[in-house]
């Protein structure tokens, strides 16, 4: 095939690919938001004085990290209907991967919290500041800076994990490629194209985080 | 002085960590304007005592009266402090630590105005004015927008003192605030503390700087294995110790001091 022929062959699929990429991006952002909520809650629960909260957090992290993400997706999408909760593939996917990533985020935040010297908490308490105030204004802002690189890795994993949602009929990049390949019988070309699109997205994420890190580096 | 009500009154205060009793039935009154230096061997409970005064450590037993606060730490007491009581107490008592503990993600100014604004509810403009005045006083006005990591240890420690002063406390606690500093930076911090003492600030300071204790404090307390071994004017406690243990402690400190300065001189002599 000549270059022109290639181009003409690919052209009809470009809008579909772009839309599927866009969907991956949206999924990733939503999953990250969910994972931050679960992760922060679990990290604070683990550091809490209340034993029950600590136990729940420990169980959550243990369960999620010890089972495959794919099984977690299946439990939420195929399993929950048995309890009367039927979610759309999209919602189930965001929830499942958000809960999954949340366990890793919790561990990252925990490591970040333990990297803050005790004196930061104590000197704040000595000024009459309350726990919530200290967390929000003193501890977490420092934790954010420390954990940014690890959180970037986690976000990239999350982005790549969205391809698992092809198994529950979310038409993201991977499933879109599969449907085209099913009719064109060109797996090599289309999987390479798909890989390249994932690469563009993950590179974007890395750049974004490098920028955030630089912005944060004023006091290092 | 003894007729007036003390600013701080501690009665029968005890504190254990697990099986180890670190403070044993300590009683101490501090009147407004007193500058009390606390000396004693490592592990004698000096830091723990200071940390019990603003309840960073919760005593196992005893009474603490400070200004309008009256706490009873005996188990099951109804006058045990609530979380809000503790915040209110700590807002009135400044504490400075050996490690300066400035917040690295905030500028010098932000470090100083944070608690006045958010704990005391001071209007921002007023807090900035106060902070600027205090920073100018220690010669660091032009550093107000710097981050702490741009400052020397002595500068950071002086900012930490100013951060505590910005809360306009009635009592200041200093726990070996010069111990982490390079020798040439100790003087600037001590002279700020001497100024505060001269202005009538009520202070409790744990220190190994015996000379400073003698010159600046109005009273010296010797901690010995969790009890107050001696208590009196520095001229007497430091010059004419009653107990053998204080004599030993002072001569040890003196030797360490001499050894350190001899070492320093030797280092200085090497090209
Ligand atoms: N959080 C804690 N948990 C367990 N033991 C502690 C704790 N804090 C202090 N201790 C112990 O209590 C004793 C008194 O400690 P403290 O820090 O009050 O002594 P210090 O007089 O300040 O000594 P230094 O001059 O070394 O600072 C020590 O034996 C110490 O190991
Ligand atoms: Mg100490």
Predicted local confidence at residue B269, as pLDDT: 39
- Measured CA to CA, the distance from residue B187 to residue B158 in angstroms comes to 11
* B3: in domain: no
Banded model confidence at residue B263, pLDDT cuts 50, 70, 90: low
The answer to whether the CB atoms of A128 and B87 lie below 8 A apart is: yes
Ligand 1 pocket list (CB less than 6 A): B 17, 22, 40, 42-48
Q: Is residue B92 part of a domain?
A: yes
The pTM assigned to this predicted structure is 0.85
Domains of chain A: total: 1
In a domain, B66, yes or no: yes
Residues in chain B within 8 Å Cβ distance of A137: 114, 118
> What local confidence, expressed as pLDDT, does residue B145 receive?
96
Instruction: Take residue A100 and report the two structure tokens written for it.
Output: 């999954």
Any idea what the Cα angle at residue B136 is, between residues B130 and B138, rounded to 5°?
Answer: 110
Q: What ipTM, to 2 d.p.?
A: 0.90
DSSP, residue by residue, A122-143: HHHHHTT--HHHHIIIIIHHHH
User: Residue A123's domain is classified under what CATH number?
Assistant: 1.10.3720.10
Residue B172 lies in a domain: yes
Nearest CA distance, A211 vs chain B (angstrom): 17
For residues B51 and B57, the answer to whether their CB atoms sit within 8 Å is: yes
How many CB pairs lie under 8 A apart between chains A and B?
69
The two three-digit tokens of residue B246, written as one number: 């204080």
pLDDT of residue A1: 67
Q: Do A128 and B163 touch (CB under 8 A)?
A: no
- Domain CATH code at residue B89: 3.40.50.300
CA of B19 to the centre of ligand 1 (A): 13
pLDDT digits (tens, 9 = 90+) for B213-223: 999 999 999 99
| Number of domains forming the structure of chain B | 1
A157 is in which domain, residue-wise? 3-217
Tell whether B142 is covered by a domain: yes
pLDDT digits (tens, 9 = 90+) for B98-141: 999 999 999 999 999 999 999 999 999 999 999 999 999 999 99
Residue ranges making up the domain that contains B18: 8-264
**pLDDT tens digits, B152-175:** 999 999 999 999 999 999 999 999
Q: Is A126 on the interface with B (CB under 8 A)?
A: yes
Query: Above 60 in pLDDT, residue B271?
Result: no
Q: Is residue B14 part of a domain?
A: yes
Q: Residue B271: inside a domain, yes or no? A: no
Query: Which residue among B90, B163, B167 places its CB closest to the CB of A125?
Result: B90
Answer whether residue B267 shows pLDDT above 50. no
pLDDT tens digits along A111-157: 999 999 999 999 999 999 999 999 999 999 999 989 999 999 999 99
Q: Ligand 1 centre from B41 Cα, in Å?
A: 11
Please check whether residue A64 is in contact with residue A97, taking contact to mean a CB–CB distance below 8 angstroms: no
Mean per-residue pLDDT, B167-196: 95
Low-confidence ranges of chain A (pLDDT < 70): 1, 218-220
Q: CB of A145 within 8 Å of any CB in chain B?
A: yes
Mean of pLDDT over chain B: 92
Average pLDDT over residues B241-247: 91
């Amino acid at each position: 095939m000549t270059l022109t022929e290639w181009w003409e062959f690919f052209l009809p699929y470009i809008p579909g690919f772009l839309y599927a990429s866009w969907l991956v991006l949206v999924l990733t952002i939503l999953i990250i938001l969910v994972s931050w909520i679960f992760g922060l809650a679990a990290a604070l629960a683990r550091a809490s004085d209340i034993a029950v909260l600590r136990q729940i957090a420990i169980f959550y992290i243990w369960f999620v990290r010890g089972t495959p993400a794919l099984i977690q997706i299946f439990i939420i999408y195929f399993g929950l209907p048995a309890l009367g909760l039927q979610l759309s593939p999209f919602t189930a996917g965001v929830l499942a991967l958000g809960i999954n990533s949340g366990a890793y985020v919790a561990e990252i935040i925990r490591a970040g919290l333990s990297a803050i010297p005790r004196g930061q908490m104590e000197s704040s308490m000595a000024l009459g500041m309350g726990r919530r105030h200290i967390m929000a204004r003193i501890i977490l802002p420092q934790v954010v800076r420390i954990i940014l690189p690890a959180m970037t890795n986690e976000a990239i994993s999350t982005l790549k994990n969205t391809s698992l949602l092809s198994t529950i009929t979310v038409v993201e990049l991977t499933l879109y490629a599969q449907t085209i390949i099913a009719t064109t019988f060109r797996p090599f070309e289309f999987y390479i194209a798909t890989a390249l699109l994932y690469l563009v997205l993950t590179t974007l994420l890395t750049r974004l985080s490098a920028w955030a890190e630089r912005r944060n580096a004023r006091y290092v | 002085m003894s007729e007036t009500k003390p600013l701080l009154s501690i009665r029968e205060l005890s504190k254990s960590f697990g099986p180890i009793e670190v403070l044993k039935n300590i009683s101490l009154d501090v009147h407004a304007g007193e500058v009390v230096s606390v000396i004693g061997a490592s592990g004698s409970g000096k830091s723990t005592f200071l940390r019990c005064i603003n309840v960073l450590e919760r005593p196992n037993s005893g009474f603490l009266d400070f200004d309008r606060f009256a706490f009873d730490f005996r188990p099951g007491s109804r006058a045990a402090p609530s979380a809000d009581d503790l915040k209110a107490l700590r807002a009135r008592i400044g504490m400075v630590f050996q490690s300066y503990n400035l917040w690295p993600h905030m500028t010098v100014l932000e470090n100083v105005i944070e608690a006045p604004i958010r704990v005391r509810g001071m209007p921002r403009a007023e807090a900035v004015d106060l902070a600027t005045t205090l920073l100018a006083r220690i010669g660091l006005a032009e550093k107000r927008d710097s981050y702490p990591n741009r400052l020397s240890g002595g500068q950071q420690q002086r900012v930490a003192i100013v951060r505590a002063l910005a809360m306009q406390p009635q009592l200041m606690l200093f726990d070996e605030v010069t111990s982490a500093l390079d020798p040439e930076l100790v003087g600037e911090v001590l002279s700020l503390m001497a100024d505060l003492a001269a202005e009538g600030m009520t202070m409790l300071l744990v220190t190994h700087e015996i000379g400073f204790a003698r010159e600046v404090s109005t009273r010296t307390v010797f901690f010995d294995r969790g009890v107050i071994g001696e208590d009196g004017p520095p001229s007497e406690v430091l010059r004419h110790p009653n107990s053998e243990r204080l004599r030993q402690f002072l001569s040890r400190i003196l030797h360490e001091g001499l050894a350190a300065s001899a070492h320093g001189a030797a280092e200085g002599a090497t090209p």
